[in-house]
Chains A and B, each alone.
Chain A
């Protein structure tokens, strides 16, 4: 698939998603970047902003199956991955697949489950496979996890461990829609739109799962110049040396930034990465990979402001300034 074809396909996907999901263009774009880059997305936002709807719409448009897990404190790892159950009729253990065996997985309120259960997703997200009782089973391709966490409630939640956070390609903050968008949402609601019955929304399937894999493979054709490599390295290195940062982005963060930038370039129909790709995705890629100094947090510094400083200090390749 050429970059131009990929761009046209993505445009069709955007158009279809926009018919149902309003005012979340950035989230949709980031989700598409993550899907193409074989990554996963962690969305932080209050309930009611259309996160579940986004997954269902994407599944519908991308021709993928999807499942949703509501994470709770008593959720067990086997509830996610599945497990061997004795089949009396066959007289043998039979593996019952958990909800992780899907193409688009919505892990809702992932921080409500303890770390043990959260970690059940680690192998699935990184390797695309699940190991149970010594047997490894591959997950269907494409495999995309969209996890959400609620930023307001802190009681009864378990913050995601760094290892788990590092598995997410992007972390996106979802805000409330604009006033006009909100009015349009209300109009749609009054005109009978029911998010639970998406089949009535007239969404068209734009691609097949096979084509998505082709699109993912097409990223290998996107060129990343030496200057861009220097730029990415500069940004990640600065994230480690920043005065407010306790732990900077890992090499996995550099790889994630490069991969995401290539996906963004491909979505834009380019066969090469430009600084804008890197700069626009750096906050989403790095914000959950940076741990701030306690005192910096106390001073009101957030990962986003820290990354903003880093990006303003890093010299853009071919800059005339």
Chain B
């Protein structure tokens, strides 16, 4: 450790009584040779895959990459290849400098999907940094799922396990209940090899009827798995054979096998060992025939998988930050992304555990609410935390510090003589950057201006860097960046934890209730609980019991009558209705006035007029219209025909007839 840094740290620790700085006396001299080789991991495709596509902004690093570098051998080739990833496939490539806060990241690193590459995504499961209750619930769910999975596998394997102590399955015989139970058992097992094994077991127990049924099930399941047939409880063997029409390699053998099975199952001769063996050989030959199909499909699938472009996750890309975490872990410093709110940082009780956050690196897209900034301020001032703001939003309490929009050249960054973190002279290189200005001492310089400044605040320190280029994976491939970062962050961690903060930090929740609240699901869950309560009150505790579905009720007769009327209307049936009704009315009137009817319509009109008191001319006109309608001589509109029907109905009522 350099003398000035040790002196500063020691003096600060002593003067402020900060216990976290006690270890600064033992701060080792940095190893100037090489930083941990984190980029050796194949996951960092840009260091190993010459075909790796770079983003436009990532090409800025190319001017700094040394050809033939052992640390990141393919980076120079990647730069020379001048490939650019398509934006559509890799939304994560959006510039983090241009990503607005309103954009919701879909993957850590201000982006969306991973970029395409030939390298598979490393299988790694990261436990999210949940709160205490969240952690407990998380592990309960995981353990419960594993137990349920094991139980399901065990129960599924149960029937095929030979166990001499097991009772033999009952002979179906003529008992329909036993037969139904047997059918249900058969329908539940879908694994072909297990069905065949069960069939052989049954045959060994001399239960040839069951053995044939199992062989039958194995055959159909195999064909169903290959989509050669559609298995359904209402379909017969004949239906399955018809499904195979056109598939000549299966049609004949399956038809013959099913015929044998039909004979064994439905004839009055009980199947024998010979019957079963014959059926089994037919079934196995078909199953074997179908097997290569599956293998071919599998090979095809694998081939497709191998030729399909593989994808790198964003965090392993040159713009990602996974390298910083890996670097710190190589140095035995616990590190990770911040997944929960920053606000509680200032309220935590000081301790010396390795999980205690001692350094916070706020990347360019990180932001915090006013409450969180207050929490961070307490954490820095009271707990001696180290806050590194790498080009991101500045806290309101850091007065006077700001970013300058003027950009630098490609010149390397040098460590200031006043720097608190290093006394040696590393060669730091990042793409052109902004500058920082404000109160505080100069930590890093570029082009004679300030790239990074340091500010003491209470027991801790705040560093503001012009951007977060230093904290990217690409940075580790250039100059002494990795060595510098390792030493700086290791010292800042001081035996604790380093956390990177990006846009995802606010996406996490400290407990399940907060998670529900953040997702705005509280009203929905409250409604759901209210619904459950109503169901409970309505049905009692058995409301969830499966029930037969209520048979669909018939539509009311009114609906049918209305629909029928509409159909009549569409068919323009008013003409027919008027014709039929006129005929019926005239017949009724002739029946009522038989004597008058001898004189034709005029006689009926005269008789009706006398009885009803209506004008005879009016009645006669109506009867003539009815006669015309009856004979089909008129072609009135539907309204006119409806009016005629109504008038005739009224006339009939007035004649005291029965309508």
The answer to whether A and B come from one shared complex is yes
Interface residues of A, Cβ cutoff 8 Å to B: 223, 225-228, 230, 243, 270-276, 279-280, 293-295, 298, 311-321
Can you name 15 A-B pairs with beta carbons within 8 Å? A223-B266, A225-B267, A227-B266, A270-B267, A273-B266, A274-B238, A276-B237, A279-B239, A295-B554, A314-B234, A315-B233, A316-B235, A320-B217, A320-B221, A321-B187
Within 8 A of A (CB), among B555-579: 555, 557, 560, 563-564
**Nearest CB of chain A from residue B504's CB, rounded to whole Å:** 48
Per the CB 8 Å criterion, the residue count for chain B at the interface is: 34
Q: In this assembly, does B231 line the interface, its C-beta being within 8 Å of a C-beta of chain A?
A: yes
Q: Which residue of chain B is the closest to A272 with respect to CB atoms?
A: B267
Contacts of B551 in A (CB 8 A): 243
Contact B232 A321 (CB under 8 A): yes
Contact B186 A320 (CB under 8 A): yes
Contact B560 A315 (CB under 8 A): no
Decide: A272 near B268, CB < 8 A? Known: A243-B552, A295-B554, A318-B213. yes
Q: In this assembly, does B265 line the interface, its C-beta being within 8 Å of a C-beta of chain A?
A: yes
Q: Of A225, A318, A321, which is within 8 A of B268 by CB?
A: A225
Contacts of A314 in B (CB 8 A): 234
Decide: A312 near B267, CB < 8 A? Known: A280-B238, A293-B554. no
Q: In this assembly, does B400 line the interface, its C-beta being within 8 Å of a C-beta of chain A?
A: no
Q: In this assembly, does B262 line the interface, its C-beta being within 8 Å of a C-beta of chain A?
A: yes
**Nearest CB of chain B from residue A236's CB, rounded to whole Å:** 15
Q: Of B176, B232, B263, which is within 8 A of A272 by CB?
A: B263
Q: Which residue of chain B is the closest to A296 with respect to CB atoms?
A: B554
Q: In this assembly, does B236 line the interface, its C-beta being within 8 Å of a C-beta of chain A?
A: yes
Contact B235 A321 (CB under 8 A): yes
**Nearest CB of chain B from residue A179's CB, rounded to whole Å:** 20
A293 to B268, CA, bound (A): 40
A225 to B234, CA, bound (A): 18
Q: Of B174, B183, B213, B231, which is within 8 A of A315 by CB?
A: B183
A228 to B265, CA, bound (A): 10
Decide: A311 near B234, CB < 8 A? Known: A223-B266, A223-B267. yes
**Nearest CB of chain B from residue A239's CB, rounded to whole Å:** 14
Contacts of B554 in A (CB 8 A): 243, 293, 295
**Nearest CB of chain A from residue B235's CB, rounded to whole Å:** 7
Contact A295 B555 (CB under 8 A): yes
Q: Provide the B406-445 mask, 1 if CB < 8 A to any CB of A, else 0.
A: 0000000000000000000000000000000000000000
Contact A318 B216 (CB under 8 A): yes
Contacts of A321 in B (CB 8 A): 187, 220, 231-233, 235
Contacts of A320 in B (CB 8 A): 186-187, 213, 216-217, 220-221, 231
**Nearest CB of chain A from residue B254's CB, rounded to whole Å:** 13
Q: Of B186, B217, B262, B563, which is within 8 A of A298 by CB?
A: B563
Contact A272 B266 (CB under 8 A): yes
Q: Of B237, B555, B560, which is within 8 A of A275 by CB?
A: B237
A256 to B187, CA, bound (A): 31
Q: In this assembly, does B614 line the interface, its C-beta being within 8 Å of a C-beta of chain A?
A: no
Contacts of A275 in B (CB 8 A): 236-238, 266
Known: A298-B563, A319-B233. 13 other contacts (CB 8 A): A225-B266, A270-B262, A270-B267, A273-B266, A276-B262, A312-B234, A314-B234, A316-B234, A316-B236, A318-B213, A319-B235, A321-B187, A321-B220
Q: In this assembly, does B179 line the interface, its C-beta being within 8 Å of a C-beta of chain A?
A: yes
Q: Of A227, A228, A274, A294, which is within 8 A of B179 by CB?
A: A227
Q: Provide the B236-279 mask, 1 if CB < 8 A to any CB of A, else 0.
A: 11110000000000000000000000110111100000000000
Within 8 A of A (CB), among B498-549: none
A269 to B398, CA, bound (A): 98
A270 to B268, CA, bound (A): 11
Contact A230 B266 (CB under 8 A): no
